[in-house]
């Protein structure tokens, strides 16, 4: 009954193939939440795989319909050992991005777990089936070793994260008492680098918006009308050029946050961002001048033009087009007022002389920025646990560079949030050939077994910490 014994038990489940066998069954279920016809697969994932796994550990499980029309179901489960004990909430999502079957490399399938060297290929191996299975497997190893956990656990597994988590907010409000906990400990997203265990305590927010210049009906011959009528493509290009400078530094005053505090800077100073194999090289002179790469992606906002069109690029004609449009996105950190992002851009464009550019927030899901201070008690506790297991200080990110529905835990449920990712940036999680790395998964089992063990020992942060 020791911490080391629990860690060894978790590692053994990887070494004897049990974990990989379990993951293969999960990957085989095509849980594409963007397809309405996947509804039976989403339900099967919870009923056939998650419910028995949790029930075997003494959890009481409920599968709840989604409050949002057409949304996939949720599983809510609880194992309670004592009112005086700390309570942890853990989370995962059983749905995956579209399989893209015809784009995978020969010999691979999104719905078959395939091992090649250190890689395990399959849709969901990294995002997110492999990650929440790992956490539950490590939890089982601790329970088996100690005979109890020493804390209470609540679990929520959704089946719609890749579709924007429809219904999550409404369900969390309705189930607030059943999901209440002292802390969220969950896994999603990538490590800072494949060989360095990582913690992040929040996520950048994301707002997507459409910029449109619509001047007239129909296109007009560029020889007859060029130089006489305004070109919406040029107007839009000049308007976009005012939002950042030529190197991508944001020029909208309200989009420049004041939250890059000393504690955040201190955490980011320990982080080195390097290009992953097969990924793009980092442009050192792009973004906010004077900032480190870590400060740019984890401590600051970034603006991107996701798509832009004027006319028909596939069949251009000699004509001044009537309309131009661009789909743009702001990734933003705590310290940026989400409700003011679109109005602030409207004010900026008006000042710059572009009142004709229409700005509208798109219908895509928006995410709120969240962050737990790196000096917060739960952040320090989790970092100490990871360091005890691995012998090295983990990378500590105040927030993930990407976005996920962390605001539902941090704000709707009102708890500190700790994420321990078990993937890496080169995993192709939203592309063909998605894969997880065996060394990360095995080390992740050890890390989570150690963390769950420590949660059942004295010395956890006080409630409301």
Give per-residue burial for 350-370: e unless 16+ CB within 10 Å, then b.
eebebeebebeeeeeebbbbb
pLDDT above 90 coverage of the chain, percent: 92
What is the four-CA torsion angle of 178, 184, 190, 194, rounded to 10 degrees? -130
- Give the model's pLDDT for residue 122: 98
296 vs 302: CA distance, rounded Å: 8
- Give the model's pLDDT for residue 364: 86
371 vs 255: CA distance, rounded Å: 17
- What's the rounded mean pLDDT across residues 368-397? 96
Q: Are residue 336 and residue 252 in the same domain, yes or no?
A: yes
- Averaged confidence pLDDT in the chain: 96
Instruction: Give the β-pairing of 205-214 and 417-419.
Output: unpaired
Q: Are residue 114 and residue 159 in the same domain, yes or no?
A: yes
Residue 207, Cα to own-chain centre: how many angstroms? 14
User: Domain for residue 278, yes or no?
Assistant: no
Domain boundary (321, 340, 361) is at 361
- What's the rounded mean pLDDT across residues 168-176? 98
Residue 123 DSSP label: T
Domain boundary (361, 388, 413) is at 361
User: Domain for residue 404, yes or no?
Assistant: yes
Residue closest to 327 by CA, chosen among 311, 309, 315, 310:
309
Q: Are residue 330 and residue 403 in the same domain, yes or no?
A: no
67 vs 93: CA distance, rounded Å: 17
- Give the model's pLDDT for residue 181: 98
Q: Are residue 154 and residue 224 in the same domain, yes or no?
A: no
Q: Are residue 69 and residue 186 in the same domain, yes or no?
A: yes
- Give the model's pLDDT for residue 278: 66
User: Domain for residue 280, yes or no?
Assistant: no
Q: What is the pLDDT of residues 350-377, one digit of tens each?
A: 999 999 999 999 998 889 999 999 999 9
Chain position carrying tokens 């080195």: 272
Residue closest to 407 by CA, chosen among 146, 154, 106, 205:
205
Greatest distance between any 2 Cα atoms in the chain: 86
Q: Are residue 343 and residue 431 in the same domain, yes or no?
A: no
Residue 305, Cα to own-chain centre: how many angstroms? 20
Q: Is 436 exposed, middle or buried (0-12, 13-18, 19+ CB in 10 A)?
A: buried
Instruction: Give the β-pairing of 74-79 and 152-158.
Output: antiparallel
User: Domain for residue 96, yes or no?
Assistant: yes
The answer to whether 188 touches 210, Cβ cutoff 8 Å, is no
User: Domain for residue 54, yes or no?
Assistant: yes
Evaluate if residue 134 carries a pLDDT over 90.
yes
312: domain CATH number is 3.30.70.360
Quote the domain boundaries for residue 323.
205-257+301-361
Evaluate if residue 464 carries a pLDDT over 80.
no
Strands of 17-138, DSSP E: 60-64, 74-79, 87-93, 114-116, 119-121
Instruction: Give the β-pairing of 358-361 and 119-121.
Output: unpaired
CA atoms within 13 A on the CB side of 441: 30
138 vs 409: CA distance, rounded Å: 22
Evaluate if residue 271 carries a pLDDT over 80.
yes
User: Domain for residue 18, yes or no?
Assistant: yes
CA atoms within 13 A on the CB side of 219: 15
Q: Are residue 374 and residue 357 in the same domain, yes or no?
A: no
Q: What is the pLDDT of residues 73-120, one digit of tens each?
A: 999 999 999 999 999 999 999 999 999 999 999 999 999 999 999 999
Element (H, E) at 151: none
User: Domain for residue 269, yes or no?
Assistant: no
Q: Are residue 318 and residue 381 in the same domain, yes or no?
A: no
Phi, psi angles (nearest 5°) of residue 337: -75, 110
Q: Are residue 33 and residue 164 in the same domain, yes or no?
A: yes
Phi, psi angles (nearest 5°) of residue 428: 60, 45
pLDDT category of residue 338 using cuts at 50, 70 and 90: very high
The structure tokens listed for 388 are: 């005890």
Q: Are residue 348 and residue 394 in the same domain, yes or no?
A: no
Residue closest to 437 by CA, chosen among 103, 274, 200, 195:
195
In terms of residues, how long is the chain? 465
Evaluate if residue 276 carries a pLDDT over 90.
no
148 vs 258: CA distance, rounded Å: 45
Q: Are residue 89 and residue 182 in the same domain, yes or no?
A: yes
Residue closest to 58 by CA, chosen among 153, 183, 180:
153
Give per-residue burial for 10-41: e unless 16+ CB within 10 Å, then b.
bbebbeeeebbebbbebbbbbbbbeeeebbeb
- What's the rounded mean pLDDT across residues 225-234? 97
Q: What is the pLDDT of residues 424-460, one digit of tens each?
A: 999 999 999 999 999 999 999 999 999 999 999 999 9
438 vs 434: CA distance, rounded Å: 13
418 vs 188: CA distance, rounded Å: 11
123: domain CATH number is 3.40.630.10
Number of structural domains the chain divides into: 2
Q: Are residue 432 and residue 324 in the same domain, yes or no?
A: no
| Range among 5-14, 188-197, 254-263 rated most confident | 5-14
Q: What is the pLDDT of residues 6-51, one digit of tens each?
A: 999 999 999 999 999 999 999 999 999 999 999 999 999 999 999 9
- What's the rounded mean pLDDT across residues 147-156? 98
Evaluate if residue 156 carries a pLDDT over 90.
yes
Domain boundary (361, 379, 398) is at 361
User: Domain for residue 157, yes or no?
Assistant: yes
117 vs 133: CA distance, rounded Å: 21
At residue 334's C-alpha, the angle toward residues 333 and 340, to 5°, is 90
Q: Is the pTM of this model over 0.85?
A: yes
223 vs 217: CA distance, rounded Å: 18
């Amino acid at each position: 009954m020791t911490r080391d014994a629990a860690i060894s038990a978790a590692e053994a489940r990887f070494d004897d193939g049990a974990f990989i066998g379990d993951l293969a069954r999960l990957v085989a279920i095509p849980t594409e939440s963007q397809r309405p016809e996947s509804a039976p697969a989403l339900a099967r994932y919870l009923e056939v795989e998650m419910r028995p796994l949790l029930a075997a550990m003494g959890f009481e499980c409920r599968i709840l319909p989604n409050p949002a029309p057409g949304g996939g179901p949720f599983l809510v489960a609880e194992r309670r050992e004592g009112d005086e004990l700390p309570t942890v909430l853990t989370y995962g999502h059983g749905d995956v991005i579209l399989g893209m079957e015809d784009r995978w490399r020969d010999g691979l399938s999104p719905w078959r777990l395939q091992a090649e060297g250190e890689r395990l290929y399959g849709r969901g191996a990294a995002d997110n089936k492999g990650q929440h299975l790992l956490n539950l497997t490590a939890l089982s190893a601790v329970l088996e070793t100690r005979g109890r956990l020493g804390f209470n656990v609540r679990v929520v597994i959704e089946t719609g994260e890749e579709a924007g988590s429809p219904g999550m907010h409404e369900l969390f409000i309705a189930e607030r008492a059943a999901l209440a906990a002292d802390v969220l400990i969950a896994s999603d997203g990538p490590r800072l680098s494949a060989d360095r265990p990582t913690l992040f305590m929040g996520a950048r927010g994301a707002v997507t918006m459409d910029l449109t210049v619509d001047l007239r009906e129909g296109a007009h011959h560029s020889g007859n009308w060029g130089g006489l009528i305004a070109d919406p493509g040029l107007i839009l290009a000049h308007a976009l050029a005012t939002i950042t400078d030529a190197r991508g530094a944001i020029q909208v005053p309200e989009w420049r946050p004041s939250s890059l505090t000393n504690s955040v800077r201190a955490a980011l100073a320990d982080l080195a961002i390097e290009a992953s194999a097969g990924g793009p090289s980092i442009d050192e002179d792009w973004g906010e001048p004077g900032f480190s790469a870590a400060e740019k992606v984890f401590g600051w906002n970034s603006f991107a033009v996701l798509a832009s069109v004027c006319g028909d690029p596939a069949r251009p004609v000699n004509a001044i087009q009537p309309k131009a449009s661009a789909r743009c996105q702001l990734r933003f950190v705590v310290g940026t007022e989400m409700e003011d992002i679109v109005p602030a851009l409207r004010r900026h464009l008006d000042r710059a002389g572009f009142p004709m550019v229409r700005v509208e927030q798109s219908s895509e899901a928006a995410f709120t920025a969240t962050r737990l201070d790196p000096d917060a008690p739960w952040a320090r506790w989790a970092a100490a646990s990871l360091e005890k297991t691995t012998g090295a200080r983990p990378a500590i990110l105040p927030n993930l560079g990407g976005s996920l529905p962390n605001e539902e835990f941090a704000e709707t449920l009102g708890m500190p949030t700790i994420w321990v990712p078990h993937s890496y940036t080169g995993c192709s999680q939203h592309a063909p050939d998605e894969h997880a790395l065996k060394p990360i998964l095995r080390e992740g089992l050890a890390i989570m077994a150690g963390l769950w063990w420590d949660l059942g020992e004295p010395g956890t942060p006080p409630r409301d910490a």
